[in-house]
Amino acid sequence: MELDFVARVIASIPPDPRLEVPPGDDAAVIRPPAGRRTVVTVDMLMDGVDFRLGSDCTPLQVGHKALAVSLSDLAAMAARPEVAVAAVALPRHQGDEIGRGVLDGMLALAARHGITLAGGDTNAWDGPLVVSITALGSVPPGAAWRRDGAHAGDLLVVSGACGGSLLGRHLAVTPRIDEALAVAAAFEVHAAIDVSDGLSLDLSRMMLASGTGAILDLAAVPIHPDAVIMAARDADRLAPLDHALGDGEDFELLLAMPAAEALRLAAAPVAGTRFTVIGEVTSGSGLSVRQADGTTAALAPRGYEHAFDG
Ligand SMILES: [Mg+2]
């Protein structure tokens, strides 16, 4: 049954010139693109933590999300997607059907972004579905975006809009690959991160890495319509803006750029996506907000963090 599954997986992967030895051997052999650096990222998604397999979350969506979050990390480095490998722990019950769905979800997104599946490992166990993907991308030497390059005086720019991802975008993740590559080709970017755990939390991580602080212009933060819907339903009365600042899983790009470059980027959509200036990098540390009346206040970053003991 496992052999059968693996054979079908291999058969469903289109041949790719980047693979000197294709999937099916003990290991794949990759031809690295000439004159470029390799960018590597790994993510693990677990049923019960990152998704809940069931009527509102199919194996197809899990496969899509597993690859999409890795692609989002490549986008945050301005890397072009090249090759991925996947490890999947399938529940014994309906494992074959689940595995098929996960693979189909991965392959559809892989085709869209020109990344090829070079191989993987499939196990079955009595536990829940776990999917881990390692994705490789490439960048010209020295061209990868990093978290630690923001300067005081840079403007902060975010793609799309944030908040309310739990209404569906947390599964139907759209990695900003096309946007990142287009921005990298035409704009100067000092620092970048993808918004996975919450706009304010990921901003605080970028500022900490850069040794800078930030002041957010609250009125400028693009709020996703889903954040408005969630706020209207909310028992704990979070405002749409709170959802935009803390929900996470938006998988938007957050960039620190020289002011003139930021304004130029915000002037017109790139790859069909709007970019919005939401604040400024400052010397010092920590986050603060500029309120509608012009006064400022400290902002405690909020978002999702994996909790563990010890
Ligand atoms: Mg990331």
**Structure confidence by residue, pLDDT tens digits, 153-169:** 999 999 999 999 999 99
**Cα radius of gyration rounded to whole Å, the chain:** 20
What's the gap in Å between 23 CA and the centre of ligand 1? 27
Region of 92 (left: φ > 0; alpha: ψ -120 to 50; beta: rest) is alpha
Assign 292 a pLDDT band (cuts: 50, 70, 90). confident
What's the gap in Å between 251 CA and the centre of ligand 1? 8
What's the gap in Å between 155 CA and the centre of ligand 1? 20
Residues near 27 by beta carbon (within 8 Å), at least 6 away in sequence: 21, 119
**Rounded mean pLDDT of the chain?**
94
Which amino acid makes up residue 219?
A
- 25 or 2: which leads in pLDDT: 25
pLDDT of 222 > 80? The answer is yes
Instruction: Identify the pLDDT of residue 114.
Output: 95
Q: Give me 54's structure tokens.
A: 């069931």
CATH of domain 155-299: 3.90.650.10
Q: Contact at 8 Å (CB) between 241 and 174?
A: no
What's the gap in Å between 24 CA and the centre of ligand 1? 30
Instruction: Identify the pLDDT of residue 308.
Output: 63
**Can you tell me which residue has the tokens 């900490």?**
208
Its pTM stands at 0.95
What's the gap in Å between 8 CA and the centre of ligand 1? 32
Tell me the average pLDDT across 222-241. Answer: 91
Tell me the average pLDDT across 179-201. Answer: 97
What order do you get walking across the sheet with 80-91 strand by strand? 37-46, 130-139, 80-91, 116-125
What's the gap in Å between 73 CA and the centre of ligand 1? 5
Assign 24 a pLDDT band (cuts: 50, 70, 90). confident
pLDDT of 283 > 80? The answer is yes
Per-domain residue ranges for the chain? 2-139, 155-299
CATH of domain 2-139: 3.30.1330.10
Assign 307 a pLDDT band (cuts: 50, 70, 90). low
